[in-house]
Amino acid sequence: MRRCLSQLAVTILVAGSLLAARASDAFGCASCGSGGDDPLVLFPAETVKLLAGTSATPALASTGPSGELLASLGPQRRLSSTFAAGIGFSPRVFFVLAQPVINNQRDGRSRTVLADPTLNARYTILMPRLTESYLPQVQLVAGFRPSLAKSAATSTDPALLDVGGSGHDEYRAGLDVWMGMMPQVKPGLSAVITESAPVRMNDVAIRPGRLIRVTASVTSTVEVPVPGLVHTVPVKLAGGMTADRRQPLTQDGTEVPGSSQAANGLFASGDVAAGDGNTVKMTWARQGAIGQTRNSVVASTWSLAWSRVMQ
């Protein structure tokens, strides 16, 4: 009995330290595919799926162009919730619409804002059969995030608590390769490029540089004995790392020196089936976990998300 409990505790700890997410996102790694930063991913047989997630970032630390920590009077903590709906149009194509809500906090003051929504899509180019263990699943990834929320550039709050977006329409595209038919550990790799639309600010056309995010992950399922149950409970574990590199920001087409960004992150997640199409997923993600973090944010985020297959 004690052994079972300790196994369960270890499993919960591992599961609780799981899932891929950007520090500001509530959602974790994809439930199918190697992930990236999609809030929700549909299996081929799924046509409608919903997600509600919440996350907490207890501390945020901004960094400068040399990776130095900056003194900041911006948000100290962030809570967020994400609501997402996915629709599959065929076994190969699905769309996901996600709407995060962010609560920025500082010194006992907080503001809750609607963040920029995202519309993501995936198309499965290569779909291996269950017996094709070493044939990868290959998906095209695309997404659009319109700039609807206030950004740091348009904030009217001296502590930037009203910020919910980047201030630029963002378009993303990439590839996700996942060895999902492998029997035990399933590695995955995705690379996504994000382009930002220019915006005029102070009579200057400002355009953030191209962002390249590479995500490497492994997923595996372990059977966990649960006291009182005659059968074990499968827990899907995932872990990996992300590497974000953004080219320098431009002003009227001229690069701003020292404005390139870099951040490497770690993530871990675990999800369990909660009966009848429901899944509960816990995620831990650390942005700025490895190497130099330039012009970015160092933060750990804990997330809990529930998803349900409706059809």
**Which residues of this chain interact with another protein, rule CB under 8 A?**
62, 64-65, 68-74, 151-153, 155-160, 167, 201-204, 206, 208, 249, 251-252, 254, 256-259, 295
Query: Which tokens is 134 given?
Result: 């070493």
Report in angstroms the alpha-carbon separations of 157 from 33, 81, 175, 201, 285. Answer: 39, 21, 38, 17, 28
Tell me how far, at minimum, the Cβ of 50 lies from another protein, in Å: 34
DSSP SS3 for 11: helix
Cβ atoms 301, 263 nearer than 8 A: no
Nearer to another protein, 208 or 270 (CB): 208
Nearer to another protein, 132 or 252 (CB): 252
Nearer to another protein, 157 or 195 (CB): 157
Nearer to another protein, 105 or 217 (CB): 105
Tell me how far, at minimum, the Cβ of 6 lies from another protein, in Å: 45
Tell me how far, at minimum, the Cβ of 156 lies from another protein, in Å: 4
Rounded Cα distance between 274 and 278, Å, is 5
DSSP SS3 for 5: helix
Tell me how far, at minimum, the Cβ of 210 lies from another protein, in Å: 15
Residues in the chain: 311
Tell me how far, at minimum, the Cβ of 43 lies from another protein, in Å: 39
Tell me how far, at minimum, the Cβ of 147 lies from another protein, in Å: 12
Nearer to another protein, 126 or 256 (CB): 256
Q: How many CA atoms lie within 13 A of 239 on its CB side?
A: 10
Nearer to another protein, 281 or 294 (CB): 294
Handedness of CA 181, 186, 187, 191 (dihedral sign): positive
Which DSSP state fits 165?
B
Comparing CA positions, the residue from 41, 214, 49 lying closest to residue 121 is 41
Q: What are phi and psi of 102, to 5 degrees?
A: -115, 140
